[in-house]
Structures are given as structure tokens and as C-alpha cells.
């Protein structure tokens, strides 16, 4: 059985390969391990992930922006002007509104499940960007709902991933209003580790959305039908501004 560190390395390698920066990386590693760990052990691991995973933008309090085609990531916000003022989470300036997290990039979010608010976590790789939502007071490294947007050439990544799921016999074609999509549970782990319920939604010829519900939140919602219903409601409420 792989150790906690080996499982962490495996997940980080996968995240790097597809530049899909999920904010629940530590959560998934911890849930996938059968070994009991002390609080200090988990805290130390979380701290190491924040440093090592910076290239894939696993930064709850940081942000990524693009300049001249290159991705730059701010691990910590700029120091405050007054020493006794706590630093605030930095926000990617190119993601648009983000006042309440319901308008970002080229999309508006009209529906979120009850009690969910913007987590102040977001990443921006130009034509591929994301933000997440959780409960008030949640640790910034965890999420309940994440929306990842793909535009222009990056929509090919979505096509490839859906094709891979089809080849494996995973998921199903769905229709949301007059839009098509694909419903699947991603990243199903070994030893009963739950995966991430996901709805890929075609919003236009060159724009797709990937809506994810974390395994933890899926458990809170109840059975698979309840989870699918929430994914559909979120998808129905997504509006493109392209």
C-alpha cells in the first residue's frame, strides 16, 4: 500500500500533467490513506503542499495571472501598508467581477446551493480559469463546488477527457436545457475512495464549463440523484458573456 507521501506525489503529478488545480488536494490525500496521523503530521503535510504545489496553483490564498502568455502565481499577497493590518487574499485582476464570485471571466453564475459563498480561491491561465465556493469559515484550501472554464483552443482538453471517459465506459451524455454535456464521477480512487461528481457543459463552440462537487460535499448532499440534481441546477444557471 502506498504511503501518504507517495500518494501525495502521485496526485500532484496528475494535477501538474493536466494543469487542473483542484483546491482539495490535501483533503483527497488524507482521505485516501488508511493510516492514522496526528494533527501535527497533517499540518506539516499541508504546509509542504502549499510550497511544492505552487507550480500547479494549489494556493488557497494566492492567485495566478497571465502576462505575455506566461503564467505567474502569487503565493502570498503583497505586504500591507500598515503592519497591524492582516494581508488579504490576492485576486487575479483579469478574471472580471469576482465581487461575490458569481461573475468571473466570461461567465455568470446564477445559482449556487444554499449557504455556499465564494471561497476567494481562483486561478487564471488565460483561456482556462477557475474559481470555487464553500461555506463561510471554511479553510481556503477546501471547497464544496468548483467551476473550471475552458475557452478557445483549451476546449480540446475537455474533448480529450470526455473521450477518455467514454473509452473507459465511465459517465453518460446529458442534456441541460438546450445545451449538451457529459456527467461523470472523476478520480475514483482505490480502497473505496470516493471520486468527484462532475458535469461538463458545452456553453458554445469555443467555451466549455466543468462543474465539480467535492466528494465531501457530495456526501453531505446525500445520494447520487441529489448530487446530480445540484450539478444540473448550477449548469442551468451558467450564462456565457462571450
Residue 128, pLDDT above cutoff 50: yes
Segments of 70-135 assigned E as strands: 70-74, 103-104, 107-109, 117-124, 128-134
In the three-class reduction of DSSP (H, G, I as helix; E, B as strand; rest coil), residue 208 is classed as strand
Distances (CA, A) of 235 to 39, 41, 85, 180: 37, 38, 39, 10
* pLDDT, the chain, mean: 73
pLDDT-based confidence at residue 91 (cuts at 50, 70, 90): very low
Distances (CA, A) of 122 to 30, 45, 140, 166: 23, 22, 10, 29
CA angle at 217 for the pair 211 and 222, rounded to the nearest 5°: 105
Contact 150, 157 (CB under 8 A): yes
Residue 197, pLDDT above cutoff 70: yes
Task: Name the phi and psi angles at 127, rounded to 5.
Answer: -85, 5
Among 34-38, 68-72, 138-142, the range with the most confident prediction by mean pLDDT is 138-142
Between 99 and 77, the higher pLDDT residue? 99
CA 24 to chain centre: 8
pTM of the predicted model over 0.85 = no
- Copy the grid coordinates of residue 190: 482505490
Q: Which whole number is the average pLDDT over 66-90? A: 41
DSSP sequence for 30-52 = HHT--S---HHHHHHHHHHHHHH
Residue 66, pLDDT above cutoff 50: no
Residue 10, pLDDT above cutoff 90: no
What is the pLDDT at residue 116? Answer: 94
Residue 39, pLDDT above cutoff 50: no
Amino acid at each position: 500500500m502506498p504511503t501518504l507521501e507517495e500518494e501525495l506525489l502521485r496526485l500532484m503529478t496528475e494535477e501538474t500533467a493536466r494543469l487542473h488545480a483542484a483546491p482539495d488536494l490535501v483533503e483527497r490525500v488524507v482521505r485516501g490513506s488508511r493510516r492514522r496521523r496526528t494533527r501535527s503530521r497533517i499540518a506539516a503535510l499541508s504546509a509542504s503542499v502549499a510550497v511544492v504545489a505552487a507550480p500547479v496553483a494549489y494556493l488557497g490564498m494566492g492567485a495566478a495571472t497571465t502576462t505575455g502568455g506566461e503564467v505567474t502565481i502569487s503565493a502570498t499577497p503583497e505586504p500591507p501598508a500598515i503592519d497591524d493590518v492582516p494581508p488579504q487574499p490576492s485576486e487575479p485582476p483579469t478574471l472580471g467581477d469576482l465581487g461575490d464570485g458569481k461573475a468571473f471571466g466570461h461567465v455568470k453564475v446564477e445559482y449556487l446551493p444554499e449557504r455556499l459563498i465564494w471561497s476567494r480561491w481562483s486561478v487564471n491561465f488565460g483561456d482556462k480559469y477557475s474559481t470555487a465556493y464553500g461555506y463561510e469559515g471554511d479553510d481556503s484550501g477546501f471547497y464544496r463546488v468548483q467551476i473550471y472554464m475552458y475557452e478557445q483552443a483549451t476546449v480540446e482538453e475537455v474533448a480529450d477527457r470526455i473521450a477518455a471517459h467514454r473509452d473507459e465506459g465511465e459517465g453518460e451524455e446529458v442534456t441541460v436545457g438546450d445545451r449538451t454535456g457529459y456527467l461523470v464521477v472523476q478520480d475514483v480512487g482505490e480502497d473505496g475512495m470516493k471520486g468527484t461528481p462532475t458535469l461538463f457543459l458545452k456553453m458554445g463552440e469555443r467555451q466549455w464549463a466543468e462543474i465539480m462537487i467535492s466528494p465531501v460535499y457530495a456526501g453531505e448532499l446525500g445520494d447520487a440523484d441529489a448530487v446530480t440534481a445540484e450539478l444540473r441546477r448550477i449548469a442551468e444557471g451558467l450564462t456565457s458573456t462571450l
